[in-house]
Amino acid sequence: MSTVKVSDDSFETDVLKSAEPVVVDFWAEWCNPCKQIGPHLEEIATEMAGKVKITKVNIDDNPQIPSKYGVRGIPTLMLFQDGQVKSTKVGSLPKGKIVEWIEQAID
Protein backbone atom coordinates (compact mmCIF):
# COMPACT_ATOMS: atom_id res chain seq x y z
CA MET A 1 0.00 0.00 0.00
CA SER A 2 1.27 3.47 -0.76
CA THR A 3 0.48 6.82 0.78
CA VAL A 4 -3.02 8.21 0.26
CA LYS A 5 -3.60 11.78 -0.92
CA VAL A 6 -6.14 13.52 1.29
CA SER A 7 -7.95 16.80 0.61
CA ASP A 8 -9.94 19.22 2.73
CA ASP A 9 -13.06 17.47 1.36
CA SER A 10 -11.95 13.89 2.04
CA PHE A 11 -10.22 14.47 5.41
CA GLU A 12 -13.18 13.50 7.58
CA THR A 13 -13.76 10.21 5.75
CA ASP A 14 -10.10 9.28 5.12
CA VAL A 15 -8.69 10.32 8.50
CA LEU A 16 -11.21 11.10 11.23
CA LYS A 17 -13.51 8.14 10.49
CA SER A 18 -10.73 5.64 9.74
CA ALA A 19 -10.90 2.36 11.67
CA GLU A 20 -7.09 2.22 11.84
CA PRO A 21 -4.62 4.86 13.07
CA VAL A 22 -3.70 7.42 10.40
CA VAL A 23 -0.48 9.40 9.96
CA VAL A 24 -1.08 12.68 8.13
CA ASP A 25 1.94 14.25 6.42
CA PHE A 26 1.34 17.99 5.91
CA TRP A 27 3.68 18.97 3.08
CA ALA A 28 4.22 21.23 0.04
CA GLU A 29 5.95 20.87 -3.34
CA TRP A 30 8.49 23.60 -2.53
CA CYS A 31 9.54 22.07 0.82
CA ASN A 32 12.89 20.24 0.60
CA PRO A 33 12.61 18.49 4.01
CA CYS A 34 9.16 17.27 2.87
CA LYS A 35 10.79 15.73 -0.20
CA GLN A 36 13.38 14.04 2.04
CA ILE A 37 10.82 12.17 4.14
CA GLY A 38 8.48 11.37 1.24
CA PRO A 39 10.26 8.12 0.22
CA HIS A 40 10.45 7.02 3.88
CA LEU A 41 6.69 7.48 4.24
CA GLU A 42 6.06 5.45 1.06
CA GLU A 43 8.16 2.58 2.47
CA ILE A 44 6.47 2.80 5.87
CA ALA A 45 3.03 2.76 4.21
CA THR A 46 3.92 -0.60 2.62
CA GLU A 47 5.75 -2.07 5.62
CA MET A 48 3.09 -1.11 8.17
CA ALA A 49 0.01 -1.75 5.99
CA GLY A 50 -2.81 -3.00 8.18
CA LYS A 51 -1.37 -1.35 11.30
CA VAL A 52 -1.46 2.29 10.20
CA LYS A 53 -2.53 4.30 7.14
CA ILE A 54 -0.11 6.95 5.81
CA THR A 55 -1.74 9.98 4.16
CA LYS A 56 -0.50 13.25 2.66
CA VAL A 57 -2.12 16.69 2.67
CA ASN A 58 -0.66 19.30 0.32
CA ILE A 59 -1.04 22.49 2.36
CA ASP A 60 -1.03 24.74 -0.71
CA ASP A 61 -3.96 22.90 -2.32
CA ASN A 62 -5.83 22.24 0.94
CA PRO A 63 -5.49 25.19 3.36
CA GLN A 64 -8.47 24.45 5.64
CA ILE A 65 -7.23 21.32 7.43
CA PRO A 66 -3.68 22.57 8.23
CA SER A 67 -5.23 25.79 9.56
CA LYS A 68 -7.74 23.88 11.68
CA TYR A 69 -4.98 21.80 13.29
CA GLY A 70 -2.52 24.68 13.74
CA VAL A 71 0.15 23.50 11.32
CA ARG A 72 2.83 26.21 11.34
CA GLY A 73 5.89 24.42 9.94
CA ILE A 74 6.30 21.63 7.43
CA PRO A 75 6.77 18.78 7.25
CA THR A 76 4.38 18.16 10.14
CA LEU A 77 3.33 14.59 10.89
CA MET A 78 0.19 14.05 12.96
CA LEU A 79 -1.04 10.67 14.10
CA PHE A 80 -4.82 10.44 14.40
CA GLN A 81 -6.59 7.65 16.23
CA ASP A 82 -10.35 7.47 16.78
CA GLY A 83 -10.75 10.92 15.20
CA GLN A 84 -8.32 12.64 17.58
CA VAL A 85 -4.72 13.84 17.27
CA LYS A 86 -2.70 11.43 19.37
CA SER A 87 0.82 12.63 18.56
CA THR A 88 2.64 15.24 16.44
CA LYS A 89 6.17 15.54 15.02
CA VAL A 90 7.50 18.58 13.18
CA GLY A 91 10.49 18.51 10.85
CA SER A 92 12.38 15.94 8.82
CA LEU A 93 13.20 12.70 10.60
CA PRO A 94 15.11 9.55 9.59
CA LYS A 95 12.90 6.60 8.65
CA GLY A 96 13.75 4.69 11.85
CA LYS A 97 12.66 7.61 14.03
CA ILE A 98 9.36 7.92 12.15
CA VAL A 99 8.65 4.19 12.62
CA GLU A 100 9.61 4.41 16.31
CA TRP A 101 7.29 7.41 16.78
CA ILE A 102 4.38 5.61 15.07
CA GLU A 103 4.86 2.43 17.08
CA GLN A 104 4.99 4.33 20.38
CA ALA A 105 1.90 6.35 19.49
CA ILE A 106 -0.29 3.40 18.46
CA ASP A 107 0.62 1.06 21.33
pLDDT of 13 strictly over 80 = yes
Q: Where are the domains of the chain?
A: 4-106
pLDDT of 107 strictly over 80 = no
- pLDDT tens track for 36-52: 999 999 999 999 999 99
Where does 4-106 sit in CATH, by number? 3.40.30.10
Residues catalogued as catalytic: 31, 34
CA 65 to CA 70: how far, in whole Å? Answer: 9
Predicted pLDDT at 64? 97
Q: What is the mean pLDDT of the chain?
A: 96
CA 74 to CA 34: how far, in whole Å? Answer: 7
- pLDDT tens track for 54-86: 999 999 999 999 999 999 999 999 999 999 999
